[in-house]
Amino acid sequence: MTKEIDPATVTDGFHLVVDALKLNGIDTIYGVAGIPITDLARLAHAEGLKYIGFRHEQAAGNAAAIAGYLTQKPGICLTVSAPGFLNGMLALANATTNCFPMILISGSSNRAIVDLEQGDYEELDQLNAARPYAKAAYRVNNPEDIGTGIARAIHAALSGRPGGVYLDLTADVLSAVIERQAAANSLVKVIDPAPRQIPAPESITRALDLLAEAQRPLIILGKGAAYAQADAAIRGFIETTGIPFLPMSMAKGLLPDNHPQSAASARSLAIGQADVVMLIGARLNWLLSHGKGKTWSPSTRFVQVDISPTEIDSNRPIAAPVIGDIASVMAAFAAALKPGRIKPNTAWVDALSATKQKNAERMAQRLNADPSPMNFSSALRAVRNALANRPDVYIVNEGANTLDFARNIIDMYQPRQRLDSGTWGIMGVGMGYAIAAAVVSGKPVVAIEGDSAFGFSGMEIETICRYRLPVITLVFNNNGIYRGDTDGKSPSPTGFVTNARYDKLIEAFGGAGYHVTDTPSLTKALSDALEAAKPALINVVIDPSAGTESGHIQNLNPKRAVAH
């Protein structure tokens, strides 16, 4: 005879997971329900956590990752076992690569059967599969260890360089029964998960000495600087020193793009001729040509501010490494900096200004053209016009040409409001990022998508409609990857259905669809959609011949050496 369970005296693993998350201030879960975590999702929702249910785990994971970036709290993604876990793995790996704090929580099958490979339902050794792609990975096998497992996952996700963490919860541990008092005693409230890392005083002195020697200094701001939320300190240092700055794409808005010290529109000159470059939360990876090659001067010396000492000297020798969390480092710089000690050469500032002016005039010519059908520049000018008086709007951006052009045309004025493909240059983040930005901020989001990029996660427009989120998706539709087919023959490897009506997709779920073929219509459609603050999709018809192979990174796309 089965002993009757008294809910007054016992609880189970499902309740312990929810209690542990709530104890640590986690208020939102992104996921896809199914075996064995359906009841966990239901319970979390019933207990007051916000649960956002997606159509695919990859999008749910991307949402969790960008929520972590925006909030400095680990975003939580919940998936089923094996296939669902694997779907979430790409987002986990992307979070680790981009240094976004995220925890992927997946249910898993019976350990005894999995370890003997006896063919359990959705059998997979998920813990070992996750380890190469996560900052840390843990499995909980006993209900009394759930509190510890979640605490360790939070510490790992947030401390030092943030990243993705995997937490494996077996079906057995979720359904296990435990006495209420023992359960309460097992919970752990995390204290100071991301402790300050104070830089060594001598590293501050060394960096300031090097900057004081510089004639042509440059500051490069990475998304690590944006994540730090030390906005006033970073801006104060830049304006006090007068050093020109260059923001990486997700650091745009830390200082407004129209700031007089911005060197964004003179990027090539700034990078190529700077004698001292200060990296703040930026890495010398492929996005900065690894600090090598024709892009950079071999004599350039570097100051690098980073929380990870292993990042130093990864591509170029770093003359002045400063190891610490960015907020503490910038506070130390402010305390040690003497007024007037650092001052860029006037000729350097003037040269950058002249180049900025010349490039701005060239850009204006492209933007003022009004071809029919639209190209990327003219369409993005129309988008920029609609956004001119909406600094509250978050921008999500992905694609090849759509990403490249929008990054240069759509100016940002607030920090952490531009979210894009990031360090990996990954496609498919758009809808997940847009949903999380709307959930976290409560503000409108405009997702500027290439038609190829949209296809990776486009079904999440149903999620947007279901939760009535103020997300407006712009699909830049040129009928293909990079560009559409124009010869009328069978579809090429990069061609899509011609004249596709993406706007009809959102109408099927109750959202507003717009089909635009000219710039006035695009500006009006976006303005109207922003005013309505409801789910919308605008099908932006672009010239099929617009766009270039691989966008601005054609050099990374190998070409055949032999023609046949």
Q: Is residue 551 within 8 Å of 403, Cβ to Cβ?
A: yes
Phi, psi of 8 (to 5 degrees): -75, -25
| In the predicted structure, residue 6 carries a pLDDT above the cut 80 | no
Phi, psi of 142 (to 5 degrees): -125, 140
Please indicate whether residue 490 or residue 349 has the higher confidence score (pLDDT).
349
Beta-sheet strands, E only, within 319-457? 320-323, 394-398, 418-420, 445-450
Residues 6+ away with beta carbon under 8 Å from 150: 17, 20, 21, 24, 103, 167, 188
Packing angle between helix 401-409 and helix 346-368, nearest 10 degrees? Answer: 120
User: To 10 degrees, the CA torsion angle through 543, 549, 553, 558?
Assistant: 180
How many angstroms separate the CA atoms of 83 and 73, rounded? 27
Confidence band, pLDDT 50/70/90 cuts, at residue 118 = confident
The answer to whether domain 10-186 and domain 201-353 are alike in fold is: yes
Q: What is the mean pLDDT of residues 345-360?
A: 96
| In the predicted structure, residue 563 carries a pLDDT above the cut 70 | no
Q: Is residue 445 within 8 Å of 397, Cβ to Cβ?
A: no
**What's the token pair of residue 241?**
């020193």
Q: How many CA atoms lie within 13 A of 347 on its CB side?
A: 5
- Cα-only R_g, the chain: 25
Residue type, 166: Y
Confidence band, pLDDT 50/70/90 cuts, at residue 420 = very high
Residue-wise pLDDT tens digits, 185-206: 999 999 999 999 999 999 999 9
Please choose, from the candidates 464, 477, 476, the residue with its C-alpha nearest in 3D space to the C-alpha of residue 533: 464
Q: Is residue 486 within 8 Å of 498, Cβ to Cβ?
A: no
Q: Is residue 541 within 8 Å of 476, Cβ to Cβ?
A: no
Residue-wise pLDDT tens digits, 17-27: 999 999 999 99
Confidence band, pLDDT 50/70/90 cuts, at residue 1 = very low
Q: b vs e for 335-372, b when ≥16 Cβ sit within 10 Å of the residue's Cβ?
A: eebeeeebebeeebbebbeebbeebeeeeeeebeeeee
Residue type, 59: A
* DSSP per-residue string spanning 64-119: HHHHHHHHSS-EEEEE-STHHHHHHHHHHHHHHHHT--EEEEEEE--HHHHHTT--
- φ/ψ bin of 227: left (φ > 0), alpha (ψ from -120 to 50), beta (otherwise): alpha
Confidence band, pLDDT 50/70/90 cuts, at residue 561 = confident
Select from 3.40.50.1220, 3.40.50.300, 3.40.630.10, 3.40.630.30 the CATH code of 201-353: 3.40.50.1220
**Taken in order 408, 380, 70, 34, is the CA torsion positive or negative?**
negative
Residue-wise pLDDT tens digits, 34-91: 999 999 999 999 999 999 999 999 999 999 999 999 999 999 999 999 999 999 999 9
| In the predicted structure, residue 488 carries a pLDDT above the cut 70 | no
**Considering the entire predicted model, what is its pTM?**
0.96
How many angstroms separate the CA atoms of 460 and 473, rounded? 11
How many angstroms separate the CA atoms of 273 and 295, rounded? 9
User: What pLDDT is recorded for position 564?
Assistant: 59
Residue-wise pLDDT tens digits, 144-187: 999 999 999 999 999 999 999 999 999 999 999 999 999 999 99
User: What pLDDT is recorded for position 5?
Assistant: 66
Residues 6+ away with beta carbon under 8 Å from 368: 381
Q: What is the largest CA-CA distance in the chain?
A: 89
Q: Is residue 324 within 8 Å of 198, Cβ to Cβ?
A: yes
Q: In 3-state terms, what secondary structure has residue 60?
A: helix
Q: What is the mean pLDDT of residues 350-371?
A: 94
Q: In 3-state terms, what secondary structure has residue 172?
A: helix
How many angstroms separate the CA atoms of 321 and 114, rounded? 47
Rounded to an integer, what is the distance from CA 528 to the centroid of its chain? 27
Query: Taking the domains of the chain in order of start, what are their residue ranges?
Result: 10-186, 201-353, 369-552
Q: Is residue 221 within 8 Å of 303, Cβ to Cβ?
A: no
How many angstroms separate the CA atoms of 519 and 381, rounded? 8
**What's the token pair of residue 485?**
């087919």
369-552 topology per CATH: Rossmann fold (3.40.50)
User: What pLDDT is recorded for position 289?
Assistant: 93
* Domain covering 10-186 in this structure, CATH number: 3.40.50.970
**Pairing status of strand 10-12 against strand 177-179:** antiparallel
Rounded to an integer, what is the distance from CA 113 to the centroid of its chain? 37
Q: Is residue 169 within 8 Å of 108, Cβ to Cβ?
A: yes
User: What pLDDT is recorded for position 116?
Assistant: 85
Please tell me what DSSP assigns to residue 374. B
How many angstroms separate the CA atoms of 129 and 153, rounded? 17
User: What pLDDT is recorded for position 347?
Assistant: 97
How many angstroms separate the CA atoms of 139 and 70, rounded? 27
Please choose, from the candidates 280, 267, 286, 277, the residue with its C-alpha nearest in 3D space to the C-alpha of residue 317: 277
Please choose, from the candidates 229, 231, 158, 215, the residue with its C-alpha nearest in 3D space to the C-alpha of residue 190: 158
